[in-house]
Chains A and B, each alone.
Chain A
Amino acid sequence: MSATLEKGLHALREVIDAPIASYFSSCVHCGLCADACLFHTETGDPRYTPIYKLEPLRRVYEQEYTVLGRVKKLVGLAKPVDDAMLDAWQELVYDSCTMCGRCSLVCPVGNDIVYMVRKLREGMAASGHTPDGIRSATRRTVEIGGPMGLKWPAVANVLRKAEEATGLKIPVDQPGADYLVLLSSMEIVNYPEYIEALAKIFHKAGLTFTVSSDAFEATNAGIQIGVSDLARTIVTRIVEAAERLQVKHVLSPECGHAYMAIRWEGPNLIGRPFRFEVVHVLELLDELRRKGVLKMKDTFKDPLILHDPCQIVRRGGVLDAPEQLIRQVADNYIPVVDQQKWNWCCGGGGGASAIHTEEAEALRAKAFQVKKRQIESAGVDTMVTFCANCRIVIEEAFDHYQMDTKLLGLTELLAEHLED
């Protein structure tokens, strides 16, 4: 078995549904989505107009599901979608789309463009037009358990170190806990302080939690590459573990697309509602803040701005919690113009950060200019965010532009200033 064009077209026929039909038929070609896309604003290349990235999907829709398109196809006037086209579009669908959803937000006729990108990726994957980086991340997630190939012993090791650092117990596979804590590989490897912060906060709030040894990974490369079958396999691990441990909540880590995967795509992938509630860590923190549990011993003094990760804020619906929380801990929080749901993507979401070709990296760096301008015009040296993937992408970009801006994780920042 291998990827073929026919499989890709079959997948596209399969995913085209009523929303897609209505989106394509209501597009008025206004081009507003172009200026909502950071790849377009930063490069000026019209190919990066979001709706244009969907051209293969649109063609299949037209030729398979519209009367005029079928007639055109019959008389040979329709340009078929072929391998060459999909090959040319791979860059547009993966490298230059982070599925940030800003285009969907601005569309005046309400077309959910990012919804269609997600669907188009099914066809791209089935026809074999995916970037190597995402494909190998997917392979590692399915075969080993996480996109970085992390195995449980390594995780257990990190948890043990966190226990030592905090003096608090981190329960593993504990049935009946309030929260099943999911992690992302990036946090485990690059930001273990997140785990320490979480342990402190749970302890402070008097809530029980557990980590599952066979479902610690929250990210879902199957969604990023666009294969629902694989995404289902990955999300099923979490669902099974959570239901087996009979937890009330599953706590999504800061990681943006992990939250989107488990909270919004998850139930659709498995085809039934969860028997537990999915909560983003910031939602939990904000709830604790409202209850007065989250008391600060001191505050962070440096001026800072917030980077709202797309999948958590704009697409995830966690809109107000981040600002409420940052105001709790920071004295000099400076709101930026494109804030909250209007925030600009870091440039590496939706799997893009896993693509390590020279072109993709150069493009990411270019797209980051919009973020750079935000930081510079605010005149701050500190930026706070709450997504492990954003953090890696932004730090790479800081490196590229030799910026000495500090980047902090929101949960850790809160934990650091939490009353003992």
Chain B
Amino acid sequence: MQGPLIDTLVRQGVSRRTFLKYCATLASMMALPPTAGRAMAEALAAARRPSVIWLPFQECTGCTESMTRSHSPTLEGMIFDMVSLDYHETLMAAAGHQAEDALHAAMKDNAGKYLLIVDGSVPLGIDGAYSCIAGRTNVDLLKEAAAGAAAIVAMGSCAAFGGIPKAKPNPTGAVAISDIVKDKPIVNVPGCPPIPVVMTGVLAHYLTFGRLPDLDDKLRPTAFYGETIHDRCYRRPFYDQGKFARTFDDEGARRGWCLFELGCKGPVTHNACATTKWNGGTSWPVESGHGCLGCSEPDFWDAGGFYKALSMPADPLKMGTAAAAVGAVAGVAVSVANRAKKHRAQASHETTTLADLEK
């Protein structure tokens, strides 16, 4: 499929108007100025399909499942289809030497221009032998593919932060892409799996403006990861009122109160779930009654248990009583010592006479 993207979309029955709406929505979601929607639409409509090479390493294919299955046939899915996916083991029909040839051809033809998407972490243990494709280790493949890439997108928490393979005790010595590749622009799109629209949003931004979107200190696009789940959660008012569900079937849970005490990691998790939702806007974890796992944060698997509250509100009275007790004991001890000293001084008082005034 060659030619501008818009022609492909029109052939698939997407109207120009729908496409514009989509671009405007995408622009607003990424906090771009209103004019950016039209610019984006024009750029995207005219864009040539960029070559994309997708390398899977230590992963569960969940990210790919998320991209391809859950939202088909939405616009994101179609745009995603429209990139020239030149290599993707799971999706491509080719296998064996044929597939490897395709990979090398794409890398050669589009040297310096292709977008490298990686999902899965890279094992470094026993010289990378834990995960090999065509007899070559992941780390070797990554270095080769990264060398000719314009930019790299680390899809999912495994590629971005090491994810579950890196969870303690990390038997394979898994690391994130950014631990290996240091000389290319990298965008982390964490999540287990990540939200599809985030992927297409990054892609659209790249195609429209020719550069990667603004990133935070963990290389995540700030447009999607700038705020916490907690900041945008529809249950936030209950948190502010101190109304918490204490079990999954109590009155609070039924009334839809805050899941903080049931271990929700929303307050420390940066992601767009609360605003974009999942499955075409159907729902998202908190809406379905379960706390956020924090899957888009580094080492979320080792963050102390999914059902353990981030912190329990202190019981001020209990603390106060303990503090008062400690203070009282210390005070009494000091006072007893001081009294004894003063009484000793008074007991040993020698009456001062006139003679005592002279030196």
Contacts and interface: CB of A to CB of B under 8 A. Distances in A.
A317 B355 CA distance: 35
B349 interface: yes
B338 interface: yes
B345 A13 contact: yes
Interface stretch (A122-130, A282-290, A331-339): A122-130
A1 B353 contact: yes
Contact of B349 (A14, A139, A142): A14
B338 A3 contact: no
Contacts of B346: 14
A230 B352 CA distance: 7
Nearest to A130: B357
B351 interface: yes
Contacts of A21: 338
Given A3-B357, A3-B358, A229 B352 contact: yes
A7 B355 CA distance: 13
Nearest to B333: A67
B345 A14 contact: yes
Contacts of A138: 354, 357
Contacts of A13: 341-342, 345
B348 interface: yes
A3 B356 contact: yes
Interface in A92-106: none
Interface string A112-127: 0000000000000110
A7 B357 CA distance: 11
Secondary structure dominating the interface of B: helix
A225 interface: yes
A237 interface: no
A2 interface: yes
B334 interface: yes
Interface string B327-353: 000000010001001100110111111
Nearest to A9: B345
Contact of B356 (A7, A14, A64): A7
Nearest to B359: A128
Contact of A10 (B338, B348, B353, B359): B348
B354 A230 contact: yes
A139 B352 CA distance: 12
B348 A1 contact: no
A65 B357 contact: no
A312 interface: no
Contacts, number: 55
Which of A1, A7, A16, A17 has most B Cβ within 10 Å?
A: A1
Interface string A126-151: 10101000010011001100000000
A227 interface: yes
Which of B346, B355, B357, B358 has most A Cβ within 10 Å?
A: B357
Contacts of A126: 352, 356
Contacts of B341: 13, 64-65
Contacts of A1: 353, 355-356
A147 to B, nearest CB: 13
A138 to B, nearest CB: 7
B345 A3 contact: no
Contacts of A2: 355-356, 358-359
B interface, how many residues as a size bin?
A: 10 to 19
A135 B355 CA distance: 10
A195 to B, nearest CB: 29
A138 B356 CA distance: 12
Interface in B54-79: none
Contacts of A17: 342
A3 B354 CA distance: 10
Contact of B351 (A125, A139, A229): A229
Contacts of A64: 341
Contacts of A142: 354
A289 B357 CA distance: 45
A125 B357 contact: yes
A311 B214 CA distance: 77
A126 B355 CA distance: 10
B358 A125 contact: no
Contacts of A225: 357
A50 B264 CA distance: 60
A85 to B, nearest CB: 15
Which of B341, B353, B359 has most A Cβ within 10 Å?
A: B359
A57 to B, nearest CB: 14
B342 A14 contact: yes
A56 to B, nearest CB: 16
A229 B350 CA distance: 9
Contacts of A130: 357
Contacts of A125: 352, 357
Nearest to A141: B354
A130 B20 CA distance: 98
Contact of B357 (A14, A16, A67, A135): A135
Contacts of A7: 350, 356
A13 B344 CA distance: 9
A157 B349 CA distance: 41
A318 B345 CA distance: 36
Nearest to B343: A14
B359 A227 contact: no
Given A67-B334, A128-B357, A138-B357, A227 B352 contact: yes
B151 to A, nearest CB: 60
A98 B359 CA distance: 24
Nearest to A67: B334
A104 B352 CA distance: 28
Contacts of A14: 342, 345-346, 349
B315 to A, nearest CB: 29
Contacts of B334: 67
A67 to B, nearest CB: 6
A398 B242 CA distance: 76
A125 B351 CA distance: 12
Nearest to B348: A10
A3 B359 contact: yes
Interface in A226-262: 227, 229-230
A143 B354 contact: yes
Which of B345, B348, B352, B358 has most A Cβ within 10 Å?
A: B352
A125 B346 CA distance: 17
A11 to B, nearest CB: 8
Interface string A62-78: 00110100000000000
Interface of B: 334, 338, 341-342, 345-346, 348-359
10 contacts: A1-B356, A3-B356, A13-B345, A14-B346, A65-B338, A65-B341, A67-B334, A227-B357, A229-B352, A229-B353
Given A3-B358, A14-B346, 10 more contacts: A1-B355, A2-B359, A3-B357, A3-B359, A14-B349, A16-B342, A65-B341, A125-B357, A143-B354, A225-B357
Q: Which 4 residue pairs of A and B lie closest in terms of their CB atoms, listed nearest first?
A: A128-B359, A13-B345, A14-B345, A229-B352
